[in-house]
Amino acid sequence: MEIILLKMGEMVLKGLNRSRFESSLLSRLRAVLAPYGAFGVSSRQSAVYAVPEGECDMDGAFAAAGRVFGFTALCRALQCGKDMEEIQQKALSLPGLNSARSFKVEARRADKRFSFTSPQICEQVGGFLHETLRLPVDVHTPGEVVWVEIRESAAYVHTRPAEGAGGLPPGTAGKAVLLLSGGIDSPVAGWRMARRGLSLLPVHFHSYPYTSPEAKDKVLQLARILGSWCGPLTVRLVSFTAIQEAIRKHCPGDLVTVLTRRSMCRVANEIALRNGAGALVTGDCLGQVASQTMEALAVTAQASALPLLRPLIGMDKEEVARTARRVGTFETSILPYEDCCGLFTPRHPQTKPKLEAVLAAEKLYDYETLEAETLKNIEKNDV
Ligand code: ATP
Ligand code: MG
């Protein structure tokens, strides 16, 4: 029988919180596996076993399990009795061994009553595979590694594990509002924080009819992809049209972007407070554009009472793009629909905005009333 064997990450260190972490991890795993068949999910020490109970789509289940935050590694393992001959035969049937140029065996014996020691298991299984498959053994740079694990209830054989999603289980670190644009950066920022256990409340500002309905759909699609990692999300779509028009009309040109950002922060803060979220997450990256100089970031942060988390702050564009490809958002992010931030952008934005000047600019119009109005018309979308 084939099972999915997963290795828990750093949460095994979390002391008293461990059981909370573990139950949230297992319930997320159960939820992602459910569409692929019935699985029995259980844990022992730092290992989690997902055992099919009947007909299951193992490929689909394995791919989905690879997106559960909290596991560092996972593999498809063959289960067999704790009997050397049976173990040898199972190892022989491992997919991937036939095409390998060389191999080695690694053994782990949790059940010390098993009559072979780990080195003896390596010798017995390695010798058998070498003779049967005529496959060279290479202990330093093996083409494939055959793992033999003797556990309490059964023996397991598998080849190299795949990398897990890493991080901490969903929701174990609290809740934050994600300012989600249609760009490359903010979905990655959200993914990185979700991976640290934050549950996300995505908020998107649109300027319909200046921005198109497709731009909205694009953001919902990005949230759907994020949800495939962290669970279903509810996106809040906020109309920013009136605020942007007011800013364009009343704000000195070079401060338009900073005022726009600050207004977004204030509205997002209010949404966070109403929904029990403790922080905001943005995709800001130091020096990437005029609104992301240190001075501009500081003036923007000043508008937020809640901490502003910027997980991409020190990442290069290429690193962010690479992560976006891993997350699966890259192709959607580069679709050409415009973001509301692209509207009314000044030709020469202020790269070193002064707080006093910004506060003075905000006094020229009653943005507070407009923001309160905007908060009344939030469109919620479950993805
Ligand atoms: P991104 O790729 O995430 O759009 P960016 O490099 O284009 O980022 P900006 O457009 O300056 O940078 O936006 C900085 C951050 O502000 C974004 O990462 C996002 O968190 C937030 N933001 C920008 N536009 C919006 C929007 N329309 N709705 C919600 N958040 C936004
Ligand atoms: Mg953008």
The CATH superfamily holding the domain 174-382 is: HUPs (3.40.50.620)
pLDDT at 1 over 80: yes
pLDDT at 219 over 70: yes
Could you tell which of 177, 178, 179, 317 is best to mutate to test the pocket of ligand 1, judged by most ligand atoms within 8 Å of the CB? 179
Tell which wins on pLDDT, 209 or 332.
Answer: 332
Question: What stretches of 35-184 show up as alpha helix (H) in DSSP?
Answer: 58-65, 84-92, 118-133
Residue 260: count other Cβ atoms within 10 Å of its Cβ: 24
Q: What is the mean pLDDT of residues 182-192?
A: 97
Percentage with pLDDT > 70 across the chain: 98
The rounded Å distance from CA 172 to ligand 1 centre is: 26
Query: Does the CB atom of residue 56 touch ligand 1 within 6 A?
Result: no
Which ligand has the minimum distance to the alpha carbon of residue 340?
A: 1
How many degrees, rounded to 5, is the angle at CA 249 between CA 244 and CA 251?
A: 85
Q: Identical fold at 2-163 and 174-382? A: no
Please give the pLDDT value at position 20. Answer: 87
Which residue pairs, CB below 8 angstroms and at least 24 apart, start in 267-271?
267/203, 267/205, 267/238, 267/371, 267/374, 267/375, 268/177, 268/179, 268/203, 268/304, 269/177, 269/303, 269/304, 269/305, 269/306, 270/371, 270/375, 271/177, 271/201, 271/203, 271/236, 271/238, 271/375, 271/378
Instruction: Starting at the earlier edge strand, list the strands of the sheet with 280-281.
Output: 308-309, 280-281, 175-179, 199-206, 234-239, 378-382
Q: Rounded to whole angstroms, how far apart are CA atoms 50 and 70?
A: 15
Please give the pLDDT value at position 344. Answer: 72
Residue 343: count other Cβ atoms within 10 Å of its Cβ: 18
Q: Rounded to whole angstroms, how far apart are CA atoms 154 and 167?
A: 29
Which ligand has the minimum distance to the alpha carbon of residue 183?
A: 1
Q: What is the mean pLDDT of residues 363-380?
A: 97
pLDDT at 43 over 80: yes
Q: What is the pLDDT of residues 156-171, one digit of tens each?
A: 999 999 999 999 998 9
Please give the pLDDT value at position 343. Answer: 66
Q: How confident is the model at residue 210 (pLDDT cuts 50, 70, 90)?
A: confident
Tokens of 291: 């609104």
Q: Domain 2-163 class?
A: alpha beta
- Contacts for 119 with CB less than 8 Å, ≥ 6 apart: 107
Q: What is the pLDDT of residues 241-299, one digit of tens each?
A: 999 999 999 999 899 999 999 999 999 999 999 999 999 999 999 988 878 999 999 99
The rounded Å distance from CA 245 to ligand 1 centre is: 18
pLDDT at 372 over 90: yes
CB 125 within 8 A of CB 78: no
pLDDT at 11 over 80: no
**Nearest Cα residue to 365 out of 282, 232, 245:** 245
Please give the pLDDT value at position 142. Answer: 96
Task: Assign residue 174 a region (left: φ > 0; alpha: ψ between -120 and 50; beta: otherwise).
Answer: left
Q: Rounded to whole angstroms, how far apart are CA atoms 58 and 3?
A: 8
Task: Please state the domain extents for the chain.
Answer: 2-163, 174-382
The rounded Å distance from CA 181 to ligand 1 centre is: 5
Q: What is the pLDDT of residues 109-157, one digit of tens each?
A: 989 999 999 999 999 999 999 999 999 999 999 999 999 999 988 999 9
Could you tell which of 178, 179, 180, 181 is best to mutate to test the pocket of ligand 1, judged by most ligand atoms within 8 Å of the CB? 181
pLDDT at 79 over 90: yes
Q: What is the mean pLDDT of residues 316-335?
A: 97
Query: Does the CB atom of residue 288 touch ligand 1 within 6 A?
Result: yes
Query: Does the CB atom of residue 211 touch ligand 1 within 6 A?
Result: no
Please give the pLDDT value at position 383. Answer: 93
Q: How far is CA 50 from the centre of its chain?
A: 21
The rounded Å distance from CA 262 to ligand 1 centre is: 12
Q: What is the pLDDT of residues 283-317, one digit of tens each?
A: 999 988 878 999 999 999 999 999 999 999 999 99
Tokens of 345: 């952008």
Query: Does the CB atom of residue 289 touch ligand 1 within 6 A?
Result: yes
Please give the pLDDT value at position 9. Answer: 87
pLDDT at 12 over 90: no
- Contacts for 245 with CB less than 8 Å, ≥ 6 apart: none
| Nearest alpha carbon, ligand 1 atom 22 | 181
Percentage with pLDDT > 90 across the chain: 85
Q: Rounded to whole angstroms, how far apart are CA atoms 301 and 299?
A: 6
Question: Which pTM does this prediction carry?
Answer: 0.92
Q: Rounded to whole angstroms, how far apart are CA atoms 176 and 193?
A: 9
**Nearest Cα residue to 312 out of 170, 165, 173, 179:** 179
pLDDT at 240 over 90: yes
pLDDT at 345 over 80: no
Please give the pLDDT value at position 340. Answer: 67
Please give the pLDDT value at position 341. Answer: 66
Dihedrals phi, psi of 126, to nearest 5 degrees = -60, -45
- Contacts for 136 with CB less than 8 Å, ≥ 6 apart: 101, 102, 103, 130
Average pLDDT across the chain, whole number: 94
